[in-house]
A and B are shown apart, each in its own frame.
Chain A
Amino acid sequence: MPNDFSFEMLTNYLLVGATLMALGMLGFLSRRNLIVMFLSAEMMLQGVALTLVGFGRYHGNWTGQVFTIVILTVAACEASIALALILILFNRRSSLDVSLWQEIREPGQPAIVEPESQAEPELAVAGPESYPHLLTAGIEPPHPTGAWSNRRD
């Protein structure tokens, strides 16, 4: 293990941590699927963990790693409870959309309604008509004449 964790290397780690944090925030703010929102929150936690480990290694003590273990624990607890809540919410409305739960907004604010024209058009996936047509090969086996239940053996 190299013993030289220079200040430049620490800056590199902090840059990556900051990028993960900002991207996680972007995913949390813009996606509507509850699961993807929560994944983005977990990504923010990863960015913070990277920052902590970098600082811990730079200053030569264990505090960074200890607190990253705590972050790991907190993320696991948060995942279990949040996913249980997401399941409950799905059971109520049969949808993972977060904009269905707008009645908890502030009293004076209008609900955010997004028109469906804003959705990206779905890419058409080729169906069975595009599967390759295989020619028959080999000797055709003898077809049974009666039902399978009255076998002749």
Chain B
Amino acid sequence: MDTLSRFDLINLVFTIVTGCCGVYLLLPHSHGRAKPILAHRIGYVFSSLSLISLFLFCRTTNVEFVTKAFFYIFAVASVACAILTITSRDPIHSALWFAAVVLATSGLFLLSGAQFLAAGTVIVYAGAIIVTFLFVIMLAQKEGRAIYDRMARAPFLATLASFLLLFGLLLALLGMRGQPVMGSGESKNITYPHRVVSAAERLRTRNQLSSKQILVLTRSLPASSELPESRLQNPDAAPLASGNHVASLGWTLYTEHLVTIELAGALLFAALIGALAIATPRAPVRPTMGIVVNAQPAEAKVS
């Protein structure tokens, strides 16, 4: 928070206030005697202003143009489609806008080098989960537009609460800007992991400790080989930037995160059984059903 410049603070307050007004106007509730179309248009204007000022916070200095362009396209698309998801009157429109959010997010995954995850997100989320949503909307819809789709619950309080949360998150994230940067996992040949080195740097600059005191402090920490930094110390681990992405991801999944895989599989299994048991609520057939006491002979019925 000490490194938040004045421009950042003003921009942040502007983003939150315009976003709050815009989304409040776009949420479905009555606007008194004003026409809803006018309220929607003003809401769209405010939301766009808020989006633009939110993306003024994003700094892309040492990035090539193509990456920058695609980052902005995907990020703006995801936030804009998110606003449209939560403010659509028709749940089918909400589901389709959410599909757009998922596509934009998977584009962002692709930009950060998670190729398998990008494809997997599109296939599982946009392909399976949203299609399931659409089927359920088909099976569970009323005739025409329902009144509960046009009525948001406590729109002012909900918008206030969510944008307060966003304010806190953005304040925390923007306050981290001026800190000495911990290195990414690119460098090799280090004796201490990066977080120890940078923590020592910060100690030195903030508390003006001498280098001898730093040495004493860092010696008391566990040796680098005992710290759980898998990538920086372990030369056998598959590097993140290797040629074969899926093979490396698979290697990591099945060696370091095997228990995670097994737990996820068990969860899927349990969910499968649970969904089948819940969604087919037929009365169970008891063994005594069908046996009638003091009945007429059933031969006439059988023939």
Contacts and interface: CB of A to CB of B under 8 A. Distances in A.
Interface residues of A, number: 90
B153 A8 contact: no
Interface in A110-135: 112, 114, 116-123
A123 B244 CA distance: 54
A42 B129 contact: yes
A58 to B, nearest CB: 5
Given A31-B153, A120-B151, A79 B36 contact: no
B154 A95 contact: no
Interface in A63-87: 63-70, 72-81, 83-87
Contacts of A3: 186, 241
A96 B146 contact: yes
A122 B279 contact: no
A124 to B, nearest CB: 11
Contact of A77 (B112, B158, B238, B267): B267
Interface stretch (B55-63, B203-211, B292-300): B55-63
A14 B170 CA distance: 9
B269 to A, nearest CB: 9
A94 interface: yes
Interface in B88-109: 88-89, 91, 94-95, 98, 101-102, 105, 108-109
A125 B229 CA distance: 61
Contact of B133 (A26, A35, A78, A119): A35
Contacts of B241: 1, 3
Contact of B170 (A4, A18, A87, A119): A18
A61 B241 CA distance: 9
Nearest to A1: B113
Contacts of B48: none
Given A11-B173, A94-B142, A83 B64 contact: no
Nearest to B164: A22
A17 B165 CA distance: 13
Nearest to B110: A1
A107 B240 CA distance: 54
A18 B124 contact: no
14 contacts: A2-B63, A16-B78, A16-B108, A26-B86, A30-B155, A32-B151, A32-B153, A39-B133, A63-B230, A65-B249, A70-B264, A95-B146, A99-B148, A119-B29
Interface of A: 1-9, 11-16, 18-27, 29-33, 35-36, 38-40, 42-43, 46, 49-50, 53-54, 56-70, 72-81, 83-88, 90, 94-99, 112, 114, 116-123
Given A9-B60, A39-B95, A60-B184, 18 more contacts: A4-B63, A8-B61, A12-B58, A23-B83, A23-B162, A29-B158, A30-B159, A43-B101, A46-B102, A57-B113, A58-B184, A60-B186, A69-B117, A74-B264, A80-B132, A116-B147, A119-B150, A122-B145
Question: What are the 6 tightest A-B residue pairs by CB atom distance, in nearest-first order?
Answer: A60-B185, A27-B86, A77-B271, A26-B162, A22-B166, A30-B158
